[in-house]
Amino acid sequence: MNKKYHFIAIGGVGMSGLAKYLIQQGYEVSGSDISESKYVNQLKEMGAKIFIGHSKENVPEGSIVVISSAIRMNNPELVRARELGCKIYHRSDMLAEISRSDKKFLGFAGTHGKTTTSGMASYVLAKAGLNPSYVVGGIIPELNTNAEFDKNGNFFVAEMDESDGTLVKYRPDILVINNLEADHLDFYKNGLDSIIETFQTLLANLRSDAKILINNDNKGNLKLKGYNFITYGFDEAEYLAKNKVFANGYSTFDVYHNDKLLLENVKIILPGEHNIYNTLAVIAACNEAGVDVSLLKEHFATFTGMGRRFQKMCSINDIPVYDDYAHHPTEIKATLSAMKSFTGKNVVAVFQPHRFTRLQSLWDDFKSSLVSADRIVVTDVYAASEDPIEGINSEKFVSELTNAEYIPGSMDAVAEKLLPTLTPNDVVIGLGAGTITNLAKCLKQANEE
C-alpha cells in the first residue's frame, strides 16, 4: 500500500473510519472538510493533518487521494490531484484494498440493517476478546469508534454500501444480505430489478468458497438466483429464531441451526422484531466464520445499538427525544413498530424526507409507514444536493395524510414551533438522514430560551 493518503471530505462517517484504520496501520493521513466535527477532531487527536475548507494547496504530492461519490469533478483538490498525477481512489476502492488481508472478511450488506449488523458483530467479537478489525457506518457507542485495526485478530468486519453500486468491488469470505428493496432510486433507475442485478454481479465475483447468508423471510432476497445460500429467518431456514418473547425493554429468543439448538435464551435490549433478525444474522455469520458463538451470547444483551439508530438523545421536561436514521419506508415502519414498547405514550414522529427522488418514488409507501404514529410532523425535504421536483414537496405530502402537520424552515424553526405543543405523555422521535439529527439539540436550545 502507499505511504500517504489524502481524504477529500474526511469528516463523513464512512471516510473517517477508513482514515482511522490507515492511521492505526502507521500510514500518513491528511484530509479536508468544510467544517469541524467530532469525527474530524478524533482524527486530529490520532495524528491526521486536517484542513478546514477545500483548497488545491491541501493536496500532498505523492499521495493517494480518496473521494466519495459526493465529491464533484470540479472540486479544487480533485482537480489538483489530477494535475499532480496522484492516484485517485473512491472510498470503496480503499475499503476493498484494506479488506484484502489474511483476516477473514465478514461483509454485511442489504438495503436496511447493515450498519447495525456490522456494528453488532464488531462489538460482540471485541467484547469476547477476539480482537476484530472493522470499518462500519456508525459509531459503536460502547467502543466509541467506527473503525479499529487490530493486528492480533483473525476477523475483519465491514459494512458494504449498495447506494452507488460500488459493493461489487468487495470479496468477503462471509457475506450477509439482510434484505433487498427498492431504494436509492436516483442511482437504481429500474428500482429493485437494478438492485438485484448489482447483487447478482457481487455474488458472481465472490470466491468459490465464500459463504452467502440471506434472510429467507425477505421477498427481495428470494429474487437472487444461482447460488447455494445459507438461510436465516423465523419460518423456514437453516438458522431459525424460535420462542421469541418481547418484553418491556428487552427481547429473548432461541437460535436453532439445522433443527438443533445452537444458543438458548439470547437476550437483546434493542426493541423491535427487526433487531431479532439483525442479531440472528450476526450469530449465523459468526458461526459460519468458525467462532464459538457461546462466547458471544452474553454480550448481545449489552449492545445498545449504533449511533442514530433508535438513539435516545435527551429528555426535555421529562419528554424523551430519540433520533433515528430511518429514511426509507421499511425502516420507518420498523422503528415506529419498536416504539410500541412505550406503552401508554403518544408517539410524535418528526419526519424529514430525504431526497426528492426518494419521496417521489416511494410516496405512498412513506404515507403508509407513518400511520402508526399518534402524531406526524413533516419538515421540508432534505435535498442532499438534488434539485427540487415540481409537485413533490412536504406540504403536498402532508395534505394526503391524517393527523399530520407541516412545519417549514430550519430545524431551529421546527423545534421552536413543536416544543410548546408537546405534552408530558409524549415521546418524540426524529426520522431521517439529514439535519433532523439536530432536532433534539434544537429542542433543548428552545427550551432554555
Nearest to 183 by CA among 439, 433, 437: 433
359 with 408, same domain?
yes
275 with 316, same domain?
no
215 with 244, same domain?
yes
Q: Is 234 within the bounds of a domain?
A: yes
Gyration radius of the chain's alpha carbons? 22
128 with 147, same domain?
yes
328 with 347, same domain?
yes
Structure confidence by residue, pLDDT tens digits, 328-380 = 998 999 899 888 878 889 999 999 999 999 999 999 999 999 999 999 999 99
Residue 281: which domain range? 101-300
Nearest to 198 by CA among 245, 173, 165: 165
Q: What is the pLDDT of residue 308?
A: 72
In sequence order, the 6+-apart residues with CB closer than 8 A to the CB of 278 are 113, 116, 117, 120, 178, 270
pTM of the model: 0.84
Gap between the Cα atoms of 259 and 255, Å rounded? 9
pLDDT score of 79 more than 90: yes
Residue that terminates a domain, selected from 268, 300, 332: 300
DSSP-H helix ranges across 339-390: 356-361, 363-370
Gap between the Cα atoms of 75 and 206, Å rounded? 34
Max CA-CA distance within the chain? 63
Q: Is 306 within the bounds of a domain?
A: no
Structure confidence by residue, pLDDT tens digits, 282-299 = 999 999 999 999 999 999
Residue that terminates a domain, selected from 73, 93, 113: 93
pLDDT score of 194 more than 80: yes
Structure confidence by residue, pLDDT tens digits, 386-436 = 899 999 999 999 999 988 999 999 999 999 999 999 999 999 999 998 899
Gap between the Cα atoms of 211 and 106, Å rounded? 10
At residue 25 the predicted structure's pLDDT band, cuts being 50, 70 and 90, is: very high
| Three-state DSSP string of 220-231 | CHHHCCCCCCEE
pLDDT score of 92 more than 90: yes
Beta strand 375-378 with 404-406: parallel, antiparallel or unpaired? Answer: parallel
Tell me how many degrees the CA angle 195-199-200 measures, rounded to the nearest 5.
115
243 with 331, same domain?
no
Structural domain tally of the chain? 3
250 with 377, same domain?
no
Using CA atoms, how far residue 337 sits from 164, 273, 321, in Å, is 29, 8, 16
Give the amino acid at 440. Answer: A
125 with 230, same domain?
yes
Please provide the average confidence, as pLDDT, over all residues in the chain.
Answer: 94
Gap between the Cα atoms of 224 and 333, Å rounded? 24
- Cell numbers for 19, please give them: 482514515
291 with 226, same domain?
yes
At residue 140 the predicted structure's pLDDT band, cuts being 50, 70 and 90, is: very high
Gap between the Cα atoms of 346 and 339, Å rounded? 10
Q: What is the pLDDT of residue 433?
A: 87
The backbone torsions φ and ψ at residue 354, rounded to the nearest 5 degrees and listed phi first, read -115, 110
- Cell numbers for 24, please give them: 492505526
